[in-house]
A and B are shown apart, each in its own frame.
Chain A
């Protein structure tokens, strides 16, 4: 794994083990109780909790820094603009992009994908063309392409996965046809935990002249990302899944693509000059940021990226990978438990079903124990069909989770089994 560049910070030498107790102390919510039990938060693939550094950055901005950006000559507006653009530079470094102009602020991964579909996609995809995705995509990386294909008279192709939940790489390559205009693949599956060999997939697609969008919504928190090395054309992620605020995320796009793409929405900030006869659009990334942006969100996201950098992504990833292994061992011994998703390359997500017990019931019982997991289809219904289950239970890990919490999960699951088989 490549190391995240530029994140060395005092107190967290790269390579040293993560001090989880110290991490936990930074997250106020982890001291809270639910139903009289200490909170065990294992729904991090849905959204992560926020460290004090992030909530402070957001509060401080509204308390002392609030102003609109790119508009005022006054001091506060200049400050806000500087901080907003500094946040863009943080995201640039976080993703390994070559320049801040390649970073567009969006609401999240979903909006990033829709933006690409509605601008780049619309301009590029025509009748009879194809868009290629995989069978392990989140609905956010299915539906925008379906909508585009429907509108343009194009075909959506789906590369299959095997019984372990790994992408059939050969099939993916086979499905890249002369008609393929774009491939959209997830870096890491939210329902299975599978990590895709994205570098290899990008290379394969590029060899056929097919550009690639990578959905990094899950990967951004757990894996080091370097879009320049990866050479992907687009990369999206959501701030709220990397310890940042909701409502903010980023789209990375290669500069040449962004420059050529038509704008997304119309409004203020995305223009240079407007008359009733014609409008001259601003350059990227501003061309894609119509209206007042989520300024505090961007500042909060930058604080989250700083926070991750303070510990080091490698140390975080090591901890999470070890904890995932521990969880798999611990849960494997439970009566009637079957894992959904057993890929070799995986991290931080453990999906499972219990024989004869519906995930929804598991979720309710665990909730009474203060344990938050996700149950349902995880916005990935095609994956559920693939594995022949209506739903799964999913425990998903973050940097602050501990072995004790996995033990609590395992104990509660055994109690569920006893209760339903009494």
Chain B
């Protein structure tokens, strides 16, 4: 199971066991739900904007190691980013895990999120890794309806 270590890296298992920002947001937050019908995973992302800046982002829900760790690491990566920076990050992240192999410079710019590069080899798990991001995106756009991976 050596190549599985690429997928389930220590950082991912750590964030799965002890997810960060795993709480409802304080105050006046936008929220959006994400649902993965394939595995029954549900995530709710809470977002507090300060003008153009992500002031707080957090999440609740149940999911697999990949989706939980992805939500956790996402919340860490997004705090303090501008709207445009957040969108760019999502695009890069998405490209990394779906693309034929992103350039190392791009992967580097993703920082800790690069631990998810192994997901590329497990196409059925891409939806797990992007679930929270889609919900974040919906919250950012202020869409109320739940997003589904299907």
Contact = CB atoms under 8 A, between A and B. Distances in A.
Interface of A: 356-361, 364-365, 368-369, 375-377, 381, 384, 390-391, 415, 419-420, 422
B42 A360 contact: no
A419 B8 contact: yes
Contacts of B4: 364-365, 368, 419
12 contacts: A358-B39, A358-B65, A360-B39, A365-B4, A368-B1, A375-B39, A376-B38, A376-B39, A381-B40, A390-B39, A390-B62, A419-B4
A364 B125 contact: yes
Interface in B4-29: 4, 7-8, 13, 17
B13 A420 contact: yes
A359 B39 contact: yes
Contact of A390 (B3, B41, B124): B41
Contacts, number: 54
Contacts of A422: 13
Interface in B82-134: 122, 124-125, 128
B74 interface: no
A369 B1 contact: yes
Given A368-B1, A376-B40, 6 more contacts: A358-B68, A361-B65, A364-B7, A384-B40, A390-B62, A420-B65
Contacts of A358: 39, 63-65, 68
B7, B64, B68, B124: most-surrounded residue (chain A CB, <10 A):
B64
A25 B68 CA distance: 43
B66 interface: yes
A365 B66 CA distance: 12
Nearest to B124: A364
Contacts of A390: 39-42, 62-63
A361 B13 CA distance: 11
B40 A377 contact: yes
A358 B64 CA distance: 5
Contacts of A376: 38-40
A381 B39 CA distance: 10
A369 B4 CA distance: 10
A368 B13 CA distance: 18
Contacts of A364: 4, 7, 122, 124-125
A391 to B, nearest CB: 5
Contacts of A360: 39, 41, 64, 66, 125, 128
A357 B39 CA distance: 13
A364 B17 CA distance: 18
Interface string B35-67: 000111110000000000000000000111110
Nearest to B125: A364
Contacts of B39: 358-360, 375-377, 390-391
Contacts of B42: 390
Nearest to A357: B65
